[in-house]
Structure formats: structure tokens, C-alpha cells
């Protein structure tokens, strides 16, 4: 069993005693004091024999737990884990099960005191037993962020990792060394990516700016072609829907005469003569699933005719720039965007209609009496000629570039310094870049390899600059770059300064150390606790620490999987029409960021009376701000003081979506999610003999009924009594996090069953609704949650999962955090300055 359930705090135990006992704390404490001289092994043996061995002796070992051979003193790590399990189960009253004989409060507290003393006594013998981080490579995410830092510019326009193997995660973490495997195919991809990046950004030919002006031949494909030829004679490029649809009719506007794209990578000035058409249409806006009170938006994304249909989504299409489109008359909208060689600009309508084909069919049907020659179906000709179809119309496009960058390109200065490449100092420049890429001072062997590659290319008649570029490619394919390898000697338990700097910078920024951190490492001062703490706090204040916020939340709450199991388009169109996944993630990120900046209490993650929402989420949540917020307002902090349907991460749509399967909800699925991600324990897999969930459920009318039937099997009951209550409380949310009081009707027929969000923890506490559930978590499982969060932070930042021997220091971190008020910034700082973080 995973040991993160351990609850060893005396403070917590005192609180639990006060809550649990029937108004006899003083007398009972005196009795407990009198028992301290009792025979400790006998107390353990008597308790286990009386209450546990019926199910957990050697012969039965229910749940793969056998306590018959357990005894004190603790002499092995397995004994330590078993001790934790017993403490957890007894403290939270999970065991014995409520249908069995129950120990008295005196018996429980005597056992807990003896076991806790046993754990404390065993601490010294487990010093040095903590696990070590295996040498790990950069994750795909870290790889791209690192290259952007080294080259001084975003690299997502290149899609360097688009063809990399899918990243393995371990318990959703993408930083665990053991899961970051390397293959021959990946090594080949690294070489191709390095070559493409270096040649595209630094090897490009010098080129004078060129100008292009497009005024016609705005062809649009498939069902748009005929209407545009008949009505516009290809004089206009029109956008009819947002990109996030499955019909792809007018979601991407391209320039037919510019399919070859720009000649070299660089900045290009683009001007678009555009107008928002018919935002004042009298047609029912529900047809288009569009908010006509909002001004139309246009954005620029890259396209590549060699990488897929120019009319459809492509793998590489980050938004490069955006603007609001005027209503009254066409206006020139300027953009300066970065395009890679061969990329052509494409135009999208981010807040446009959803499913253009369906909206055209419905408009033709409902408003046919307004047209002289009405057509049924998807015909657009009549609508474009006579109708009021909302869309963006582009009449002219100008492109000019590449724009000259003053003082040379960002890449040139980032790689070679402010003076650019200098043939006479080429090796010194390569050494300097190698030091930044390897995140440490270079050893003689590093210098020798750089010199050898550079001179070999010169001997092959490469120009000095090309020889330097080829050497850069070698550096970017070196294990010293691709791996967070440690130069700390094996026999030293604590990391040396350069290794510590790299671990810190990748935990905080997913990138190499900056100049200040590198200097502190080079001086040796970084290992001083005060200096390390100062650097942690400095890096947290930087906007670059959003890499930590995003990466950690993707791992801890598994937010990166939002969208992997999307709901059916027809049943939940708003999920797509509003692009809700991005808003869902942003709410959680802003909430966590705010807690971090303000050192707000970690308990706000369980329940809070505020959150951050945009207009889309305000609408999804039914908040009053949906009437006042505009898209241009972005995200705003809102009060939830009068809305107990939300609050904390469990009330956020992102969490509720990623813990469902897109089609329906399951208390088991969400219960397991809460158990793993909030309470920090992974339930064991069901035994092979456990029947399917639908077995023997005749007469069951709700998911709760089916689960009750399922739990009649004793093999199922052991786990489900811990899992199901955690999921029942979240049943008031549908698969995308909307509040509900009733389940949808089966196939749209019959009576909709009411949602029952009541439940009872195995420890006896009952809750009546979602708000009450969160309160019970705060009252009885706050410490468990806090320790679990500390453990997740440690695993994410060190690159390894915590082991039982690590729990002693996790306890110490927890105590320091509690003593300082329980703030999130305090917790992160304590984690990143702890011995566990600083150890190999």
C-alpha cells in the first residue's frame, strides 16, 4: 500500500480525540497517560488478535494485508509501511468495518500511541534509506521550453516534438525519471529536431524584405467553392465558423496564391482588410451558437500545405496574433507574426458560429420565405446573395517581410552573444553556449569534443559559420544536454551546486538556470540554506514560474488529459462552441497562482469562497457575472460566498471533466480520482474474481442502486466502502462540471432520477451534499490532503516517487508549513529547500 495515507501528527490526534470522544477528554487523557508503561508488544498483539486477524491472518489476508506476523519493534521498511497502514485505518475508523466488533476509544488510542512511538524510535535506522532520483532525460515539455530559453524565441511554431513518441507518465507526473525512457527512434528525432532548429533559425539565408498583395482568387474548398464562385467570383475570403468543429467549412481562411509560404523564417507584417458581416442579423443566434453581443474576433495561425490539407486543422497552429473586427465598414487590421520558412498565414474566427453546415441548413429552412429563390440543404448561394449570414469578410491581404531585427536576430544574440558569430572567437562562443546547454561549467572532455567536431567540419570544407552550426547540433544531441545528469559523486548524499541549480530551475521554470542562479552555483553559495531559499522565492516571483504552475497542475490534477475523452458533440455542443477546456484549465491555474503569490492557505484548494472565471465559465456555472462579463474582460476574481455549489478544486469544471469519461459520470471513477489526487493513496486493483459492475443488478434504477448491488459481493465491498462515498458527493455535477439535481432521462425517455449526493465515510462521518462533503474533508482529512500535496510536490520536483523512508522528512516539512500558517508559498518553499529536494 502507498504510504501517503500516514497521519502521524500529534496535533491531528488531539483534534480527533476532541471530536470523537463523548465529552470526556480530560479523564480519558489521564487514563492514556497511565497506560504508557504498559507492555507495548502486548497492546499491539491483543488489538490485532481481537479486531483484525479474523480477516487479516496468514490464511485469509483480505485485501492482500496480513497482520498475523506483525510485531514491534520495527526493523524493516515493510514493517514501517504496515505500521502506517494500521495507524491510518484505525485513526480514520476505516477498520474494523462497521459491521464488526468495534474497539473502545481507549483501545484505539493506546494502540495509536504505541505504534507512533514505534515509528519515532525507528527513525535513526532508516536514515540514508531514502530513494534516489535516476538520471532522467528532459520531458518533451521541458525540451521545448529549454530550446526556447537557449535560442531566445518561442519554438512552438516549429513543432519540434510533434513526431516524438507519446510521453510516458507515472501517476500522471511527466517528470519521473523511470518513466522517461529513450529509444533509438527518439534519438533520431532529437537529431532531426536539432538540425531543423539550427538551420531554420541560424542557417537561413540573408534576404531583403519582399511584399505580396492579394486582392482576388480567394478560393475556398469543398462545399464553399460553388457559392463563392457564383456570388463573389472569389473576390472575398470569408470565415464562417470557429476552428473547433467537425465540419471544417470556413473555419480556416488561406491565401490560395500563397500556398508556398514565406521564403525564410522571420517576422512578417500582415495587413488584412476585413469587416464583421451581419453581427446585427435578425436570424436566431441560437442557430449559430454565437453571442452576437460580442464583437467578432479574427486570429492568425500558421499553415503548411505540405503538412496536410490547408482547409483543415494541422498539428502546428499556435495563435500568432488576434484582433477585433469592425462592424460598420472594412478596415485594415495590422499584425506582426513569426512564420517559419514554408508556412503561410491562415485566418480563423475564434468566437465564430459553431457547425456552419448545420446552421446554414437551419437558416434555409426557417427563413426560406425571405428569399426569392430559396434552396434547401447546405446551399449557401442564396444566403450570401440575399441573406444576413454572420461571418467575417476579407477583401485584401498584404504581407511584407522578413522584417529586419535591429541588432541582429534574437537567436544570433542568444547563441553567439551580442556581437553575433565571430570566426576568430568561434570556439569560445561554442564553449559559452555549451556551458548554458549543459547547465554547468565545461570539463576538458566537453571542450575536446566541441573542438573535434568544429575542426572536423572545417576539414571537410565547411565554412566557419556552418562548422559552428553543426557543432551546435552536436551539443543539442549530447547526453549532457538531453539528460539532467548529475556530476555529484555517487558517495555524496547532497547535490553539488550545479546539480542543485538544474533541479531547481527545471522544477520552477522547466528550463536551464538563468545567469543569476548559475552564478550562485558557480560560487558554491547555492548550497547555503539562506541563499537557496532566496533563489526559490525570486524564481517564484518570476512569470517564468507559470511553467511550474501549469506543469504541476497538469500532473497533480491530470489536467493535461482534458479533451482525451471529450463528450459527444451533439449532446454537449457548448463544450466545443465555447472552447471550454482552455477556460477550465485557466481557472485552476489562476486559482493556484493566486494562492502561491499571496501565500494563501493550502486548505483553500479544498474549499474556498472565491474563484477566477471568464464569461464562458460564468455561464457554465450559472454565476450572476455571466450578465456583466465580456470576453474582453478575460478572467476575473468572483465571490462564491453565496454559492456553495462551487469552491475549491473539486468544484472546478476542469477537475470534474477530467474525472469523468465524457459521456456519463461514475461515483467509482470520481471516487478513485479523489482518493488518488486529493487524499494521496492509490487503491489496489480489483481482484480477478470481482464481477463486472453490472452483475446482478436487476431492479436497480440508479447508479447508487447498482453500486449497492455490486457491494453485496464481499470482495467488492472492501474497496468500494472507501471509494464510493468520495464519488457520491460529486454526482451533482455532470460530465463537464455543470450543476444538476437530476440525471438525464435514459435515451430521453422515462422519469429523470434525482441525484443523491449524500454519503457516509467509512470512519462514520455523514455528509448531506457537496458543500457538507468538503467541510468533512477539512475537518477530518485536512492533514492527509496536506501531506499528500507535499508528497506530490516532492515527486514532481525531484523526479522520483517518495518512499516510506522519506516520510520522516515529509512529516518535518508538514510541521514547518503548519507552524508558518499553512500557506501554499510556504509549502513550495519548504519543499524546494528540503533535504529530500537537495539529495541525489
Give yes or no for a contact between 668 and 708, defined as CB atoms under 8 angstroms apart: no
Q: For 14-18, what is the mean pLDDT?
A: 34
Average pLDDT over residues 569-583: 89
**532, 500 contact by CB (below 8 A):** yes
* DSSP letters spanning 176-191: -GGG----HHHHHHHH
Helix boundaries (H) for 460-579: 464-476, 479-482, 497-508, 515-523, 529-541, 546-556, 573-577
Q: What is the pTM of this model?
A: 0.85
Which cell numbers in the block locate residue 85?
Answer: 497502514
Q: Map grid coordinates 472546478 to a residue.
A: 652
Q: How far is CA 468 from the centre of its chain?
A: 38
pLDDT one-digit tens code per residue, 155-199: 999 999 999 999 889 999 999 998 998 899 999 999 999 999 999
The larger pLDDT score, comparing residue 47 to residue 582, is at 582
Predicted confidence at residue 80, as pLDDT, reads: 76
H-run or E-run covering 96: none
Which distant-in-sequence residues (6+ apart) come within 8 Å of 359 by Cβ? 241, 287, 288, 289, 353
- Bridge partner list, 298: 323
DSSP element (H, E) containing 359: helix 356-366
Look at phi and psi of residue 656 and say left if phi exceeds 0, alpha if psi is from -120 to 50, else beta.
Answer: alpha
Determine the pLDDT at residue 62.
Answer: 66
Q: Which three cell numbers stand for residue 598?
A: 499571496
Q: Is the pLDDT of residue 279 over 80?
A: yes
- Return contacts of 220-223, CB within 8 angstroms, 24+ apart: 220/250, 220/253, 220/311, 221/309, 221/311, 222/248, 222/249, 222/311, 223/249, 223/357, 223/378, 223/380
Angle of CA points 457, 459, 465, to nearest 5°? 45
370: nearest Cα among 388, 395, 344: 388
100 phi and psi angles, rounded to 5 deg:
-95, 170
Q: Exposed, middle or buried: residue 817 (CB in 10 Å: 0-12, 13-18, 19+)?
A: buried
pLDDT tens, position by position, 746-761? 665 667 788 899 988 8
pLDDT of residue 202: 97
Helices (H) and strands (E) in the chain, counts: 32, 12
pLDDT at 20: 37
- Checking DSSP bridges between strand 331-339 and strand 610-613, what pairing results, if any? unpaired
Q: Which of 118-127, 310-319, 346-355 has the lowest mean pLDDT?
A: 118-127
- Treating both helix axes as pointing N-terminal to C-terminal, what angle do 667-677 and 703-710 enclose, rounded to 10 degrees? 70
Average the pLDDT over each of 473-487, 749-763, 774-788 and give the range with the smallest value.
749-763
Q: What are the tens digits of pLDDT across the range 103-145?
A: 887 887 878 788 877 777 777 666 655 567 778 899 999 999 9
**Residue 719's pLDDT band (cuts 50, 70, 90):** low
The answer on pLDDT for 29 being more than 60 is: no
- Write down the pLDDT at residue 429: 98
Rounded CA gap, 556 and 383, in Å? 49
Percent of the chain with pLDDT over 90: 65
Q: Which tens digit of pLDDT belongs to each residue from 374-385?
A: 887 888 999 999
**Grid-cell match 443566434, residue found:** 285
Average pLDDT over residues 654-658: 95
Helix axes 184-201, 140-151, angle to 10 degrees: 20
Residue 253: what are its φ and ψ, rounded to 5°? -100, 120
587, three cell numbers: 481557472
**Contact in structure between 258 and 344 (CB atoms under 8 Å):** yes
Where b means 16+ CB within 10 Å and e means fewer, 760-769 reads: ebbbebebeb
Helix, strand, coil percentages, rounded to 5, for the chain: 50, 10, 40
What's the mean pLDDT in 12-40?
Answer: 40
**Residue 56 to residue 448: CA distance in whole angstroms:** 63
pLDDT of 37 over the 50 cut: no
CB atoms < 10 A from the CB of 770, how many? 22
Q: What is the pLDDT of residues 662-705, one digit of tens each?
A: 788 888 889 989 999 999 887 766 555 555 454 333 334 566 66
The phi and psi torsions of 310 (rounded to 5 degrees) equal: -70, -15
What are 229's three cell numbers?
464562385
Instruction: Give residue 23's Cα distance to chain centre.
Output: 46
Give the number of other CB atoms < 10 A from CB of residue 298: 24
User: What are the Cα distances from residue 328, in Å, to 278, 299, 325, 348?
Assistant: 10, 19, 10, 20
Question: In this structure, what C-alpha cell is assigned to residue 443?
Answer: 570539463
Range in 250-259, 432-441, 479-488 with the lowest mean pLDDT: 479-488
Question: What is the distance between the alpha carbons of residues 487 and 485, in angstroms, rounded to a whole number?
Answer: 7
Helix (H, G, I), strand (E, B) or coil at 557: coil
Task: Compute how many other C-beta atoms are within 10 angstroms of the C-beta atom of residue 665.
Answer: 23
C-beta of residue 520 within 8 angstroms of C-beta of residue 511: no
> Is pLDDT at 8 greater than 70 in this prediction?
no
Residue range 389-406: mean pLDDT, rounded: 96
**3-class SS of residue 601:** strand
Q: What is the mean pLDDT of residues 340-344?
A: 97
Predicted confidence band of residue 90 (pLDDT cuts 50, 70, 90): confident
- pLDDT band at residue 652, thresholds of 50, 70 and 90? very high
- Sorted by sequence, the CB contacts under 8 Å of residue 594 that are 6+ apart come out as 600, 612, 637
Q: DSSP per residue over 435-450, as a string?
A: HHHHTSPPPHHHHHHH
**Which set of grid coordinates corresponds to residue 318?**
499556435
- d(CA 447, CA 429) in angstroms, rounded, equals 12
Residue partners of 705: CB distance under 8 A and separation at least 6: 697, 699
Residue 69 is predicted with a pLDDT of 76
- Interatomic CA distance for residues 536 and 157, integer angstroms: 31
| Helix ranges (DSSP H) in 202-271 | 224-227
Res 715 pLDDT > 80:
no
> Which residue in 409, 410, 269 sits closest to 345, CA to CA?
269
Per residue in 493-508, pLDDT (tens digit) is 899 999 999 999 999 9
The reported pLDDT for the residue numbered 63 is 59
Distance of CA 9 to the CA centre of its chain: 31
Residue in 338, 322, 320 with CA at minimum distance from that of residue 152: 338
Percent of the chain with pLDDT over 70: 88
Q: Is the dihedral of CA 677, 791, 823, 547 positive or negative?
A: negative
What residues does each domain of the chain span?
3-126, 136-202+415-485, 210-401, 562-658, 661-780
| Nearest-10 crossing angle of helices 444-459, 464-476 | 140
Look-up: residue for cell 471529450?
A: 566
pLDDT of res. 61 = 63
Give 169's contacts (C-beta < 8 A, 6+ positions apart): 176, 179, 555
Cell numbers standing for residue 77: 521498511
CATH assignment, 210-401: 2.60.120
**What does the alpha-carbon distance between residue 73 and residue 773 come to, in Å, rounded to a whole number?**
38
Is the CB of residue 134 less than 8 Å from the CB of residue 798? Answer: no
Please tell me whether residue 749 adopts helix, strand or coil conformation.
Answer: strand
- Per-residue pLDDT band for 200 (boundaries 50, 70, 90) equals very high
User: How much is the CA Rg of the chain, to the nearest whole Å?
Assistant: 31
Strand partners, 749: 746
In the chain, how long is the greatest CA-to-CA distance?
100
Vertex 482: Cα angle to 477 and 486 (nearest 5)? 130
Contacts of residue 691, Cβ cutoff 8 Å, sequence gap at least 6: 710, 713, 716
Q: Which of 447-456, 715-724, 816-825 has the lowest mean pLDDT?
A: 715-724
* Closest to 283 measured CA to CA, from 195, 366, 205: 366
- The per-residue pLDDT of the chain, averaged, comes to 87
Q: How many residues does the chain have?
A: 840
Is the omega angle on the peptide bond into residue 402 within 30 degrees of 0, that is, cis?
Answer: yes
CA–CA–CA angle 377, 286, 624 (5° rounding): 165
Distances (CA, A) of 150 to 417, 515, 623: 11, 12, 44
As a whole number of angstroms, the distance between CA 113 and CA 83 comes to 12
Amino acid at each position: 500500500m502507498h504510504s501517503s495515507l500516514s497521519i502521524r501528527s500529534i496535533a491531528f490526534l488531539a483534534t480527533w480525540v476532541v471530536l470523537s470522544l463523548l465529552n470526556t477528554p480530560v479523564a480519558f487523557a489521564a487514563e492514556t497517560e497511565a497506560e504508557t508503561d504498559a507492555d507495548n508488544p502486548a497492546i499491539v498483539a491483543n488489538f490485532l488478535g481481537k479486531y483484525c486477524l479474523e480477516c487479516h491472518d496468514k490464511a485469509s489476508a483480505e485485501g492482500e494485508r496480513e497482520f498475523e506476523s506483525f510485531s514491534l519493534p520495527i526493523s524493516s521498511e515493510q514493517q514501517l509501511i504496515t505500521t502506517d497502514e494500521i495507524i491510518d485505518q484505525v485513526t480514520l475508523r476505516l477498520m474494523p468495518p462497521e459491521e464488526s466488533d468495534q474497539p473502545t476509544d481507549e483501545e484505539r488510542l493506546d494502540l495509536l500511541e504505541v505504534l507512533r512511538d514505534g515509528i519515532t524510535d525507528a527513525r535513526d535506522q532508516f536514515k540514508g534509506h531514502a530513494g534516489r532520483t535516476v538520471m532522467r532525460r528532459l520531458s518533451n515539455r521541458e525540451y521545448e521550453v529549454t530550446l526556447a530559453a537557449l535560442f531566445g524565441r518561442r519554438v512552438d511554431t516549429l513543432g519540434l516534438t510533434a513526431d516524438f513518441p507519446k510521453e510516458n507518465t507515472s501517476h500522471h507526473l511527466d517528470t519521473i525519471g523511470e518513466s522517461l525512457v529513450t529509444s533509438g527512434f527518439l534519438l533520431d528525432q532529437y537529431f532531426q529536431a536539432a538540425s531543423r532548429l539550427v538551420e531554420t533559425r541560424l542557417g537561413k539565408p540573408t534576404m531583403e524584405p519582399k511584399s505580396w498583395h492579394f486582392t482576388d482568387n480567394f478560393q475556398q474548398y469543398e462545399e464553399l467553392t460553388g457559392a463563392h464562385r457564383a456570388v463573389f467570383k472569389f473576390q472575398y475570403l470569408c470565415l464562417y465558423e470557429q476552428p473547433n468543429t467537425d465540419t471544417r467549412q470556413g473555419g480556416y481562411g488561406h491565401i490560395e496564391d500563397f500556398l508556398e509560404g514565406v521564403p525564410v523564417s522571420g517576422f512578417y507584417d500582415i495587413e488584412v482588410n476585413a469587416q464583421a458581416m451581419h453581427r446585427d442579423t435578425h436570424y436566431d443566434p441560437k442557430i449559430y451558437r454565437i453571442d452576437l453581443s460580442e464583437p467578432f474576433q479574427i486570429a492568425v495561425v500558421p499553415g503548411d500545405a505540405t503538412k496536410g490539407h490547408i482547409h483543415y486543422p494541422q498539428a502546428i497552429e499556435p495563435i500568432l496574433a488576434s484582433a477585433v473586427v469592425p462592424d460598420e465598414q472594412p478596415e485594415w487590421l495590422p499584425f506582426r507574426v513569426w512564420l517559419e520558412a514554408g508556412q503561410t498565414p491562415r485566418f480563423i474566427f475564434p468566437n465564430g458560429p459553431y457547425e456552419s453546415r448545420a446552421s446554414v441548413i437551419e437558416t434555409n429552412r426557417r427563413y426560406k420565405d425571405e428569399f426569392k429563390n430559396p434552396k434547401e440543404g447546405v446551399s449557401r448561394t442564396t444566403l450570401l446573395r440575399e441573406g444576413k449570414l454572420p461571418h467575417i469578410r476579407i477583401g485584401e491581404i498584404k504581407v511584407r517581410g522578413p522584417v529586419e531585427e535591429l541588432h541582429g536576430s534574437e537567436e544570433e544574440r542568444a547563441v553567439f552573444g551580442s556581437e553575433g558569430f565571430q570566426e576568430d572567437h568561434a570556439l569560445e562562443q561554442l564553449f559559452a553556449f555549451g556551458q548554458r546547454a549543459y547547465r554547468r561549467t565545461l570539463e576538458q572532455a566537453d571542450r575536446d569534443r566541441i573542438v573535434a567536431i568544429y575542426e572536423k567540419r572545417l576539414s571537410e570544407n565547411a565554412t566557419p559559420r556552418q562548422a559552428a552550426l553543426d557543432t551546435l547540433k552536436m551539443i543539442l544531441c549530447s547526453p549532457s544536454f538531453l539528460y539532467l545528469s548529475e556530476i555529484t559523486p555517487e558517495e555524496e548524499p547532497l547535490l553539488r551546486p550545479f546539480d542543485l541549480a538544474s533541479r531547481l530551475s527545471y522544477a520552477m521554470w522547466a528550463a536551464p538556470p538563468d545567469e543569476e542562479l548559475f552564478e550562485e552555483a558557480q560560487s558554491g553559495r547555492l548550497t547555503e540554506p539562506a541563499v537557496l531559499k532566496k533563489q526559490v522565492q525570486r524564481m517564484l516571483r518570476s512569470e517564468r514560474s507559470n511553467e511550474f504552475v501549469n506543469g504541476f497542475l497538469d500532473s497533480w490534477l491530470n489536467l493535461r488529459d482534458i479533451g482525451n475523452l471529450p463528450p459527444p458533440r451533439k449532446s454537449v455542443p457548448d463544450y466545443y462552441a465555447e472552447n471550454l477546456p482552455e477556460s477550465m484549465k485557466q481557472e485552476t491555474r489562476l486559482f493556484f497562482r493566486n494562492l502561491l503569490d499571496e501565500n494563501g492557505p493550502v486548505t483553500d484548494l479544498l474549499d474556498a469562497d472565491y474563484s477566477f472565471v471568464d464569461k464562458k465559465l460564468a455561464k457554465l456555472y450559472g454565476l450572476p457575472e455571466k450578465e456583466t462579463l465580456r470576453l474582453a474582460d478575460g478572467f476575473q476574481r468572483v465571490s462564491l460566498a453565496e454559492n456553495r455549489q462551487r469552491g475549491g478544486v473539486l468544484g472546478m469544471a476542469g477537475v470534474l471533466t477530467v474525472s469523468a469519461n465524457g459521456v456519463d459520470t461514475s461515483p467509482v471513477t470520481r471516487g478513485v480520482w479523489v482518493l488518488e489526487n486529493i487524499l494521496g493513496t492509490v487503491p489496489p486493483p480489483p481482484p480477478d474474481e470481482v464481477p463486472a459492475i453490472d452483475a446482478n443488478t436487476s431492479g436497480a434504477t440508479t447508479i447508487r442502486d447498482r453500486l449497492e448491488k455490486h457491494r453485496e459481493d464481499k470482495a467488492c465491498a472492501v474497496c468500494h466502502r472507501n471509494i464510493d462515498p468520495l464519488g457520491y458527493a460529486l454526482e451533482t455535477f455532470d460530465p463537464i462540471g455543470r450543476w444538476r439535481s437530476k440525471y438525464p432521462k435514459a435515451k430521453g425517455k422515462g422519469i429523470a432520477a434525482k441525484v443523491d449526493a449524500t454519503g457516509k465515510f467509512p470512519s462514520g462521518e455523514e455528509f448531506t451534499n457537496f458543500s457538507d462533503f468538503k467541510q468533512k474533508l477539512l475537518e477530518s482529512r485536512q492533514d492527509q490532503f496536506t501531506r499528500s500535496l507535499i508528497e506530490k510536490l516532492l515527486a514532481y520536483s525531484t523526479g522520483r516517487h517518495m518512499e516510506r523512508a522519506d516520510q520522516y522528512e515529509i512529516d518535518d516539512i508538514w510541521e514547518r508549513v503548519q507552524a508558518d500558517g499553512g500557506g501554499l508559498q510556504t509549502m513550495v518553499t519548504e519543499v524546494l529547500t528540503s533535504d529530500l529536494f537537495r539529495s541525489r
